[in-house]
Amino acid sequence: MPRARRSRATASPGKLPLRYRARLTCNPPRSDAVLVEAQVRRGPSRVGIAVIFPGQGTQVPGMGAPWRDHAAWSIVERAEAAFGEPLADLILDAPAERLARTREAQLCVLLTSLIAWEAIRDDVAAPVAFAGHSLGQVTALIASGALPLEDGVRFAARRAELTQAAADAHPGKMAALLGATVEQAAEACAAALDGAWIANDNAPGQVVVAGTPDGVEAASARAKEIGVKRATPLNVGGAFHTPLMRDAADALPAELANVTFETPAAPVVSNLDAAAHSDRDDWHQRSAEHVAVPVRWRESMQTMADLGATSFLEVGHGAMLAGLAKRTVPDLAVRGIATPEDCALLAEVG
């Protein structure tokens, strides 16, 4: 068993052993009690909107430009005041090379999504849930009111810095297994003696694995042997959402020590356990541990459907999450809010 897999598998109290998370497909039952509680809190609703936010990988130069003269631009001004440095240039003028850096990319995605949410939030009546993919979970916590904007922006920056430091200390890669089941991905990772793990369970037929360079290469080769359609290397700077990020996960609680989480306006579905959480407890631990464990997005989408979602509203640049939703819960409508012009689509949601 490789050292990275063995030494940190049980580092956090109450955390499932790594082999369980990899080989049992990340599928322990969702908390039905939490689902029922959330439904009672929400009450009856004709149209159930789940608000979802993208993560790193959706950034492009100038993605914030359409919002420059919109009233929602005040989000950037508030973030700059809290952060103590200019941020507007990240979403207006930063070239692709700069946005390839983890910190800049994540702040760019976070800010653009928050601007879009600020523009529409008063028009989204009683969402059934909030959720975000990877970094998008931080956005979801801010949008739901669970995490203050100023604290959230600072935390996102430190989260990016610490995960990049972990990636520099423990080099790794990621690869998308297209056409793979979670079981096939787990089998492929088990064949990688140098360390590979499931990092993202995104949708039926799309599972991302990550680990050491040799581990990902071995897992990709094994995946092809067992019938996976394609293993596509991803252009990222580390093995995110694996035990190779343990240093970052261990350091993040200190970054949240002085942050007070509030009760969200609607349940927030966590990447960590794919469960809906309608209170403010334990988000310090979830937000830290999140970076070193798989993103359970496929299950998270199903959780939102179970909560009564009839539509997804993807808030931020791109349509990555819309594609995953259509493969996972095809009966649910999906709309995107990326520009001021998209705000008119809200009337059509549902």
182-220 confidence digits (pLDDT tens): 999 999 999 998 899 999 999 999 999 999 999 999 999
Please report which confidence band the pLDDT of residue 344 belongs to, taking 50, 70 and 90 as the band edges.
confident
Task: Kindly report, as residue ranges, where domains of CATH 3.30.70.250 are found in the chain.
Answer: 173-236
Per-residue model confidence as pLDDT tens digits over 231-284: 999 988 899 999 999 999 999 999 999 999 999 999 999 999 999 999 998 999
7 in active site: no
Phi then psi for 39, rounded to 5 degrees? -65, -40
In this structure, CATH architecture of domain 32-167+243-348 = 3-Layer(aba) Sandwich (3.40)
The whole-angstrom separation of Cα 313 and Cα 300 is 14
Can you give the pTM of this predicted structure?
Answer: 0.85
Q: Which of 134, 144, 220, 287 is catalytic?
A: 134
One-letter amino acid at 6 equals: R
Fold annotation for 173-236: Alpha-Beta Plaits (3.30.70)
* pLDDT surpassing 90 at residue 6: no
**Strand segments (E) across 96-194:** 129-132, 173-180
207 phi/psi in degrees, rounded to 5: -125, 135
Q: Extract the tokens encoding 313.
A: 């509203």
Mean pLDDT score across all residues of the chain: 87
Q: Among residues 170, 241, 290, 317, which one is catalytic? A: 241
Residues near 160 by Cβ (< 8 Å), separated by ≥ 6? Answer: 102, 103, 105, 106, 107, 135
Q: Is the pLDDT of residue 37 over 80?
A: no
- Environment class of 46 (CB within 10 Å of its CB; exposed 0-12, middle 13-18, buried 19+): exposed
Residue ranges, comma separated, of all CATH 3.40.366.10 domains in the chain are 32-167+243-348
Task: Confirm whether 45 is a catalytic residue.
Answer: no
